[in-house]
Amino acid sequence: MRLEVKLALIGAISKLVIFLILFTLVQQTIDSLALEHTDRDLTKKKDKALSIIKKIGIRTYLDAEQDSVFASYNILKDEYITITLDPDGKPEELAFSQEARIIEGEEFDFRILNYNFLIGHQQYSLEIGKNIQMIYSLDRTLKKISISIILIVLVITILFDLGTYKYLLHPLNQMIIPKLKTVDNPESFDYTEIDSSTSDFVYLNTTINELMHKVNEILKNQRKFIGDVSHELFTPISVMQSKLDNLLVSGKLPAKTVGMIVDQQKQLIRLQHIIKALLLISRIENDQYSKNDKVDLHELVEEIVANIEERAHITNITLENRISKDTSLSNVNKYLIYILLFNLVSNAIKYNKAGGSVLVYDEQKESNLLVVVEDNGIGIAPENLDLIFNRFKRMETTKEEGQGLGLSIVSSIADFHDATIEVKSHPGEGSKFIICFPFNQTV
Ligand code: ADP
């Protein structure tokens, strides 16, 4: 979930809680105010009734037949008054209650005032009731209105908050995050400063830039170191090799010594291969190659097939160049593209089975060109697929000769040309190395 949505939701939840607390408080206050008001009204009516009774006497109100009861209610049945004889009641006691009363067969909720008073030696009970149905329905209407207002205000605040957070987080979403998406290559990292009035974002951006500068510097130094060391080692190894050659040519050595020298030479050749590979990777990574060539891919693969065919024949492996005749790559380095495809074809032969086959073909994918090297050899275990491009990484199951640098070179050359590599493989069934060249190299 995006940060602005999270912030807006948290804001909405906290507002909802505050609204609900306020709503409950307001509701309770309205209820108690309405009751207070009704009680005051009932008390006034009681005082008025008592003063009339004092003036004109109680007998006027008593029922002629029953001689004890007076009852009156208004036409809308929202108020009534009764006076009854009540010898057991406590005199002068004022009480309020809420009860239902049936008037002419209809039940109503009333707020009731009860008051006992003495006239002569008789004690009477005065009851005045006020219909509170009105208060209930007003209460319900108020509740409905309040909930609607709360919901509308809530939706408006969520939308407002979303807009505000989006605006405030704009530098993060539109400037810093897109930069971080290209963080895998410090060389092409976007080091521009961001234009924001939020100092935290400016600080974050500056810190990321500084960090990337440091990472870039470290990687540069590492590449330079590998290049320098490889270069320094190359000369003494070549000197040692020619000295060993001279010793062999002299022909005066015993057979045992000749065997030892040949072994040493093999080790030196292996070392030379490693140093050459490291030097090549270092030069590619230090951008020491141009990308101005146009390459006829079919022809290039033909060249590779011609150079490697002999090796394939030894294990009876068929090599097939199915690259279309008109397929070409532009803005590339021909020498490096040759090495890339040569290494892939060489591996496809090396890690194949006797009688297997290797196919090289091209495919168009949207505007990109795919070059595929496919074999039906030993395949690669899924857990090793991510490791094979690491330097000096060789699978434990691999018995063939090698230094574990062939695919590192392939990966550096692909990066250099902004191409991507995908590997599909099943152990025992074979492997497919798919190089995807971008649009600008296929026109
Ligand atoms: P090397 O071939 O010198 O060992 P690479 O970098 O070319 O080094 O390859 C690394 C590893 O990837 C190899 O040791 C091998 O296990 C595996 N590998 C590469 N290509 C293939 C392939 N076509 N089929 C099966 N395994 C392969």
| CATH number, domain with residue 437 | 3.30.565.10
Same-domain status, 36 and 137 = yes
Nearest by Cα to 441 from 327, 324, 287, 302: 327
The span from the CA of 100 to the CA of 75, in Å, is 18
What's the Cα-to-Cα distance from 83 to each of 41, 128, 225, rounded to whole Å? 18, 9, 112
Residue that terminates a domain, selected from 100, 129, 155? 155
pLDDT for residue 7 is more than 70: yes
- Look at residue 140 in the predicted model and tell me its pLDDT: 84
The answer to which of 41-50, 98-107, 121-130, 158-167 has the lowest mean pLDDT is 98-107
Residues 6+ apart with CB under 8 A from 426: 379
Using only C-alpha atoms, the chain has a radius of gyration, in whole angstroms, of 48
Q: Considering the domain boundaries, does residue 167 fall inside one?
A: no
Which structure tokens are listed for 243?
Answer: 């000295």
Q: How many CA atoms lie within 13 A of 112 on its CB side?
A: 16
Name the domain count of the chain: 3
Same-domain status, 229 and 255 = yes
Q: How many CA atoms lie within 13 A of 401 on its CB side?
A: 7
Range among 248-252, 285-289, 380-384, 388-392 with highest mean pLDDT value: 380-384
Atom of ligand 1 nearest to the CA of 403: 3
Q: Considering the domain boundaries, does residue 183 fall inside one?
A: no
Query: Looking at per-residue confidence, does 182 or 203 come out higher?
Result: 203
Q: What is the mean pLDDT of residues 303-332?
A: 94
Backbone angles phi, psi at 199, to 5 degrees: -65, -30
Side chain identity at residue 330, one-letter code:
S
Same-domain status, 433 and 318 = yes
- Is residue 12 within 8 A of residue 158, CB to CB? The reply is yes
**CA 417 – ligand 1 centroid, Å:** 22
CA 117 to chain CA centroid, nearest Å: 78
The answer to which of 131-145, 307-321, 333-347 has the lowest mean pLDDT is 131-145
Same-domain status, 61 and 103 = yes
The span from the CA of 187 to the CA of 219, in Å, is 10
Q: Considering the domain boundaries, does residue 273 fall inside one?
A: yes
What's the Cα-to-Cα distance from 62 to each of 30, 72, 104, 112, 172, rounded to whole Å? 38, 11, 20, 21, 86
> What is the residue-averaged pLDDT of the chain?
88
Is the entire prediction scored with pTM above 0.85?
Answer: no
- Is residue 47 within 8 A of residue 83, CB to CB? The reply is no
Tell me the pLDDT band of 361, cut-offs 50, 70 and 90: very high
Q: What is the mean pLDDT of residues 95-112?
A: 86
Tell me the pLDDT band of 223, cut-offs 50, 70 and 90: confident
Backbone angles phi, psi at 172, to 5 degrees: -70, -45
pLDDT for residue 109 is more than 90: no
Q: Considering the domain boundaries, does residue 77 fall inside one?
A: yes
Q: Considering the domain boundaries, does residue 18 fall inside one?
A: yes
- Range of 8's domain? 3-155
Which structure tokens are listed for 70?
Answer: 């007076």
**CA 376 – ligand 1 centroid, Å:** 14
**CA 350 – ligand 1 centroid, Å:** 8
Q: Considering the domain boundaries, does residue 189 fall inside one?
A: no
Which structure tokens are listed for 68?
Answer: 């004890």
- Is residue 110 within 8 A of residue 100, CB to CB? The reply is yes
What percent of the chain has a predicted confidence (pLDDT) above 70? 95
- Look at residue 329 in the predicted model and tell me its pLDDT: 93
CATH of the domain at 246: 1.10.287.130
Q: Considering the domain boundaries, does residue 173 fall inside one?
A: no
Residues belonging to the chain: 443
Query: Looking at per-residue confidence, does 347 or 80 come out higher?
Result: 347
Which structure tokens are listed for 134?
Answer: 């009105």
What's the Cα-to-Cα distance from 39 to each of 76, 129, 363, rounded to whole Å? 20, 10, 91
Query: Looking at per-residue confidence, does 433 or 396 come out higher?
Result: 433
Q: What is the mean pLDDT of residues 310-319?
A: 94
Same-domain status, 218 and 151 = no
H/E element holding 90? none
Which one of 346, 407, 409, 410 would you pick to mutate in the ligand 1 pocket, going by the greatest count of ligand atoms within 8 A of its CB? 407
With a 6 Å cutoff on the Cβ, whether 204 touches ligand 1 is: no
**CA 333 – ligand 1 centroid, Å:** 24
- Is residue 222 within 8 A of residue 263, CB to CB? The reply is no
- Look at residue 66 in the predicted model and tell me its pLDDT: 57
Residue that terminates a domain, selected from 121, 155, 189? 155
Q: What is the mean pLDDT of residues 221-245?
A: 87
Same-domain status, 248 and 303 = no
First to last CA, the chain: 41
Query: Looking at per-residue confidence, does 103 or 214 come out higher?
Result: 214
With a 6 Å cutoff on the Cβ, whether 352 touches ligand 1 is: no
Residue that terminates a domain, selected from 285, 307, 338? 285
